[in-house]
Structure 1
């Protein structure tokens, strides 16, 4: 690395091989540390959602719970969602400005505090406030974590790792479901079960926070923020850890160096211009992928219990048993299909997972309308559908985190996350809830499957549209350096074969 003197007030330009040095690393224990230490945020989110989904009756209990109404229990989910959106927007900007490491430690602490306090709530308003705080922490986690993982994982493994990590949401949901079967049973007093549930996530988080203290700041972030010497020391330390694992590292030629000049913080106007002026197709891609998968997931996930109870007569106490295979299907999809996003390619696999899950849901919709499904076959079909949909949904987060310049990565994730949660997290559950009500309710003598069938068709078509958009205007990002996919805004020059600033795929 060199740092020529420019004199006056002109920004200093440095030549750095940091990105190339990261991407040529073999997979070692260091990368497992990054995956485990950072990837737990998705597990925590799945755990949080499932814990609240299962403790509805406990919270409504006037003696052991808080005596909440059904509307108030639903409002707790809204408070958590609102916290996620605000946390993503606030901390997304902060992680681009202050660094990945500071934020992935701070946001985890915020989550620990918010969720832990939920266990000592005394009324609806206190619990809603604590759920909002916990949501802010998790929302901030998404931006800092996905940014850090993408920037620390070598390009050959980035796709499968990011998709697998995002898919572990369902490991958390599965854990919450299994624990809930015990905590909300007659074996545990009502007044203790729901309170203990809120401490499970923080207990896991306390262990993880010690791991995170050993994870360094992203050298890529450091070098683009005028801290080139610190970036060099950090990558030197990472390489030493890798060599200690027995790996041999070839030197990186100077021809792969990237010239970087420090830029002042970007304002909202500049951000908007970059998203929609420089990268309009990528913005459309990110918006489409995030909204379509969020709509499908929130529509099915938040109403599957109502479908089982209303259309198949399943006792609500037995519904958690049906959730277990559903969660397994969602978890296995990213783990099994993830490597193909690095080998077969991003666009082909996104098209296959989005289109495949949409087509399967379309078939399921007509079978549902025909009345030939049972609770078991309906659940089995959901498992297959979301085996593909889960990998596709995870690839949406991967896509928005790698197709924009490094200086905007955290904010890109936060903006598209906020939009998708608003569209999918608010509209979809409400719409599908109304469609289920239109069937006549659990006590109706004859149920009309037509309205919900229409909803399933809408979800299926949206997923297929998302896959088509990705196939047409998607980015072939597999096994490419992040700097080749989207040149940093601070780049003064690029390595041979790189993308000239402003001239890459739009």
Structure 2
């Protein structure tokens, strides 16, 4: 058995914050901006798309197209997640972005509902692949003391994309600027333009040294770390001393997939259960509300399709501010308390809002104000789900573990939510919709209880301490 000693994790975790870390956050974190853009475009444009004489979109079909996007995201997460653990993080970055930008441009050229749904599914596949590879790489390159806050803000940047999508829809749907049938098509070009910029940024981001050290390439890991240290030292001056302690890792195993899957259901079964509950509950609530929000505004409150973006903008801003303002508490107060607290608060507020909606106690502005308040907290809760499934499992299967939890949560909560709520909206019954909201609230409360019972203290701890690599061996 070939064994090597390494101090790569300790060297990465002791680095001061620098332009290199901003590059990682910007170049990789933009995956969530793209996802937010895509989801919001379809939500904001759904009224205009439904009126398209070419696509013939009913409310149910709008929900079905949202589910097609999520189905593609599940397939992309699983496929690209497995490849990210097998081939490395960096190789997947360009591929997933290329898939995304090609498909989103093609969406704007759709000629029927079937083609629209197909291109949405392929777009989702690119974004799903981004979630797996990018989440893993960010956690492996960011110092432990700032991992929680950084991960939450990066996941929360979904809502920067949402704001861009909402603002872009206002321009695209203004008949004085762009003909109605052409406006929604032009709007999808936004994602393609952003995707090209992402490709340029990612050229400067290295492979994860942590991935290299656990896949039989310790020399390459050492070379990458030296390069990162040189970049940081050139900006910040002399670096802090490296903490004592070295990892001993096997270098004779190239694939840990089988052993990792077994660990998920044996050694890490409690963490697996927690990840499933957190991901499924937040996926149902977010996708059910957000994919159909424009339809609620137009059907129940009479908001014109071209003005939906005005209501989504404050909603998007609040969703980004939640992780930004609450994120540091996940590193200071602790994971368990904050995850349970944000899930519980989200569930209680959602239950109350569902009742107010059912009994006609809200206007379009009031509905938006309540959703804005709820998802200020729920956004931090949802982002913490990705943080949890990313840091709680061994490095060798981190990307595929993220993909598995994302896929399961999306299949259980994400695919069902838009279809269910699309049908409820089409029924025209406020009481039926309230039942859907109360169900979502119950899921969030169950997740809060699971976080309190099963959560662990991962704050400010090295990844290798939270979940030792499968390749590690004793002294």
* Distance in 2, Cα, partners of 1:289 & 1:172: 23
* Aligned position for 2:82: 93
Q: Distance in 1 between matches of 2:293 and 2:184?
A: 22
> Structure 2 CA distance, aligned partners of 1:488 and 1:357?
34
Partners in 2 of 1:120 and 1:131 — Cα distance? Answer: 12
Q: CA deviation at 1:59?
A: 4.2
Query: If each structure's helix is expressed as a fraction of its own residues, which one has the higher value?
Result: 2
CA distance in 1, matches of 2:301, 2:355: 16
Q: TM-score scaled by structure 1?
A: 0.89
Matched, 1:49 2:49: no
3-state SS, counterpart of residue 157 of structure 1: helix
Match of residue 480, structure 1, among 431, 436, 461 = 461
Indicate yes or no: 2:460 matched with 1:469: no
Alpha-carbon distance change, 478 to 319 in structure 1, aligned in 2, over 3 angstroms: same
The aligned residue for residue 68 of structure 1 is: 56
Higher relative contact order (CA 8 A, sep 6+): 2
Mapping of 1:198-347 within 5 angstroms?
198-253=188-243, 255-262=244-251, 263-268=253-258, 270-347=259-336
- 1:28 and 2:18 are equivalent in the alignment: yes
Q: Select 1:385's aligned residue among 365, 374, 393.
A: 374
Deviations 1:338-385 (A, max 9, x none): 111111111111011111111222222333344332222221111111
Q: Deviation of residue 281 (structure 1)?
A: 0.2
Deviation at 1:220, TM superposition (A): 0.4
**Range with greater deviation from structure 2 (401-410 or 457-466):** 457-466
Distance in 2 between residues matched to 1:61 and 1:481, nearest whole Å = 52
Quote how far apart the aligned CAs of 1:74 are: 4.3
- What are the Cα deviations for residues 373-407 of structure 1, in whole angstroms up to 9, with x where unaligned? 22222211111110000000000001000000001
Show structure 2 runs of 5+ residues with no match: none
- 1:217-272 Cα offsets, whole Å, 9 max, x none, are 0000000011101100100010011111123213325x41100102241345x343
TM-score normalised by structure 2 residue count: 0.94
Residue range with higher mean Cα deviation, 188-197 or 454-463: 188-197
The structure with the largest alpha-carbon Rg is: 1
State which of 188, 200, 209 in structure 1 corresponds to 2:178. 188
Residue 351 of structure 2 is matched in structure 1 by 362
Q: Is 1:179 matched with 2:168? A: yes
Please give the alpha-carbon distance, in whole angstroms, between the structure 2 residues aligned to 1:19 and 1:82. Answer: 35
- Distance in 1 between the 2:372 and 2:446 partners? 21
Report the Cα distance in structure 1 between the residues aligned to 2:199 and 2:474, rounded to whole angstroms: 38
Query: Aligned residue pairs: how many?
Result: 472
**Aligned residue for 1:16?**
6
Distance in 1, matches of 2:116 and 2:424, equals 30
Q: Offset of 1:437 from its aligned partner?
A: 4.4
- Of 382-391 and 320-329, the range deviating more from structure 2: 320-329
The reply on whether 1:165 has 2:154 as its aligned counterpart is yes
Q: Matches of 1:120 and 1:432 in 2, distance apart? A: 27
| CA contact 1:402–1:485 (8 Å) conserved in 2 | yes
Counterpart residue number, 2:440: 459
The match for 1:450 is 431
* Unaligned residue ranges in structure 1 (runs of 5+): 1-9, 442-447, 495-506
Shift of 1:205: 1.6
1:72 shift after superposition = 5.0
- Report the secondary structure of 1:418's partner residue: helix
Cα distance between partner residues in 2 of 1:115 and 1:226: 38
CA separation in 1, counterparts of 2:185 and 2:358?
Answer: 41
Q: Secondary structure, in 3 states, of the residue corresponding to 2:473? A: strand
Answer whether contact 1:26 1:247 (CA < 8 A) is retained. Answer: no
In structure 1, C-alpha distance between the alignment counterparts of 2:42 and 2:296, rounded to whole Å: 19
Secondary structure, in 3 states, of the residue corresponding to 1:309? helix
8 Å contact kept, 2:339–2:451 = yes
**Distance 1:128-1:372 versus aligned 2 partners, 3 A rule:** closer
Q: Which shifted more, 305-314 or 275-284?
A: 305-314
